[in-house]
Amino acid sequence: MARTGSALRWSFAVLVCGAFCFAANVDYFADNGYGNTLSTEQHPTGEHFNGVTYVAYQGPHEDPYVAAYVHATGRWIGPVHAGVNTMGKSPDQIDKGELDNHGKPALVVDRQGYLHLVFGSHGGDPKHGKNPLGEFYMGEKGKMTHVVSEKPGDISAWRTLDNLPAFGTYNQWVKLANGDLYLFYRHGGHRSDWVYQKSVDDGRTFSAPVSVLKHKVSARSPTDDDAWYAWFENGKGDTITASYIYHPCGRPTHSGQRENTYYMLMDCRDGSWTNVQGQHLTLPVTKELADKATLIESTGKDRPSHGTCHVDADGRPHLCFPFGANVRYYRWDGKAWQKPVMVAAGLGRVNDGDFVVDSPTTVRMILGLANSGLDEVGWWKTTDGGLNWVKGPVLISSPSMGFQTSVIIRNAHPDAQMLLAAVLANEEHLYRRMYLVGEHGPLGRPEAEASHLGDRLDQLKLLPKGTPKAEAKRKKKASQIGEEP
């Protein structure tokens, strides 16, 4: 009996240590992110559900990969290959200009626990038929693809649901408290409407696309089209917010110009849209109506990028828009838009990020910051409505790596708040280490478990190295596209 009791005590100790004493020896959970692995535009990139944080990112071939962190045991599952992006090239490229990078996955968990990803398109491919709400983009640009896990909470197997148009770009999930799913996206290339489709049966079927933002020939120039970059998120109750910027898209190819910041709100009970003052808006919103009713700031020569938006307990919006190397914070005080404030101004290059609204005047923001040879991702906080910001805890830092940031994980666990991809400037490949960071830093794992490249690095040695001509081509392409280089 003594020996049996000793064995039981030893087994119990092993179980306890398995749950709470697990020691990671690398800070990253995977090494197979690829290219511009993630961004705040395709979102969410992760969700915490029933004690597990699920994350999705762009991996080899620009395909979607999914990993899961089990908080009770401190163990990682995956990453698992979840689908095929038809824009990917084989073998994996070493020239950044050869990647499209617009087919990154967005992830949501439905009310039954099934995981859904949408990915794989930059305007779609003409072979999939006519696009009734926009244009194709510079040739054959993939197919918007929807996959769902075979079992609830299980990332090991996936199947395709062919229930969405092929033409989506910048796919974004919004889930209401009752479980209804809204998928927002741009219905094609740059000169296309922004739309949403609604599902009341956990993503098995969707309503027809509803145009929210209208593309058309610009009234100010026949050589420009009115186009948009938009970001959609839960508001208060059964509402969805839209924060967006204007893009005068030049013909015949494209231009990188972007202007102005805008905001409006959808009431999901009847599908109606209003501006911040409650004025009813007729869909789809045109440039003329946007300027008249939803404009926050006319930005002049300053070039904004798509922003993020969250609301406080009163339903008042707070917004953050990147402007080059800076980030501007806006809020509605109930009567007017407060003058925007640059967060972390003068402290280095501020990268994209996301934020949490604790009260009408207290906001916490996670930002990437690069300064004096050090890159870091950490918290910033205001308690006076955004007039002043104080630096808070750093979640991760490095003298040799920069970080691409996601939005904050949906329903985030304190230990797993944001998905990151690390970029080493002098690396001769495009693979990225993936990090999930929270209050206690990165959630790592044993190095052998974090290694998922196999012999891919050896395969790349057979490819020609980047040349000045290839780099010039990449820069030219990036300037023409005006999106993600």
- Distances in Å between the alpha carbon of 295 and those of 262, 266, 287, 306? 5, 16, 10, 14
The torsion angles phi and psi of 14, rounded to 5 degrees, stand at -65, -45
Report the relative pairing of strands 317-323 and 326-331 from DSSP bridges: antiparallel
Catalytic residue among 43, 102, 146, 306: 102
Rounded Cα gap, residues 100 and 89, in angstroms: 10
Nearest CA-CA partner of 343 in 333, 335, 353:
353
Nearest CA-CA partner of 405 in 11, 9, 43, 12:
43
Q: For the residues of 276-336, what is the DSSP string, one character each?
A: TT--EEPSSBPHHHIIIIIEEE--TT------EEEE-TT--EEEEEEETTEEEEEEB-SSS
- 170 is an active site residue: yes
Strands (DSSP E) found in 71-203: 75-81, 106-109, 115-124, 141-151, 154-160, 168-175, 181-187, 194-199
Rounded Cα gap, residues 328 and 320, in angstroms: 6
**Helix (DSSP H) and strand (DSSP E) numbers for the chain:** 5, 32
Rounded Cα gap, residues 106 and 209, in angstroms: 18
User: Given the structure tokens 């006319």, which residue do they identify?
Assistant: 298
Catalytic residue among 54, 69, 137, 170: 170
Rounded Cα gap, residues 316 and 28, in angstroms: 37
Rounded Cα gap, residues 383 and 357, in angstroms: 10
- 102 is an active site residue: yes
Residue pair 256/264 in contact (Cβ under 8 Å)? The answer is: no
For the chain, the C-alpha Rg in angstroms (whole number) is 22
Report the relative pairing of strands 154-160 and 168-175 from DSSP bridges: unpaired
Rounded Cα gap, residues 77 and 291, in angstroms: 48
Catalytic residue ranges: 102, 170
